[in-house]
Amino acid sequence: MQKNYSKHYNEKSFWRKIKKVGSAAGQQVVYAALLLYYVMKDPAVEMKHKIIIAAALGYFILPVDAIPDIVPLLGYTDDFGALILALTKIYTAITPEIKEKAQTKMKSWFEKVDENLLLGLEKRIGGAAQA
């Protein structure tokens, strides 16, 4: 995945994709993408983690998916899977400050943020990272 998709990641395309598909993709997908984005921006994060993140966000941005985004209910499952995989690989780099940045951005985009969904995602990636 790293080799194929990391070249597609860039910050402008990331924000364009989030704005375009945010509500359709759902809060967990957006939160996962934001966590990766803010970890990527952290200068203390290792290059190997940044490569993993660039690959996952590149897949998310890429308009051609294993499951097209327009397919109802399933369109973002492959994107979400790639984001989750990357999050479990870089889990130790997710600081409380990064979570706060992502949550603050979520609150600016969504009228009502489902805190339980965000916590569920954090538990999921934390449990998978420790397994």
pLDDT digits (tens, 9 = 90+) for 72-93: 445 677 788 889 999 999 999 9
* Structural domain boundaries, residue 88: 2-130
What pTM was estimated for this model as a whole? Answer: 0.84
Q: HEC states along the chain?
A: CHHHHHHHCCHHHHHHHHHHHHHHHCHHHHHHHHHHHHHHHCCCCCHHHHHHHHHHHHHHHCCCCCCCCCCCCCCCHHHHHHHHHHHHHCHHHCCHHHHHHHHHHHHHHCCCCCHHHHHHHHHHHHHHHHC
- Rounded (10°) CA dihedral 14, 18, 21, 27: 130
Q: How many domains does the chain have?
A: 1
Give me the pLDDT at residue 88, please.
Answer: 95
List the chain residues with pLDDT less than 70: 1-8, 63-75, 129-131
Give me the pLDDT at residue 69, please.
Answer: 47
Give me the pLDDT at residue 64, please.
Answer: 62
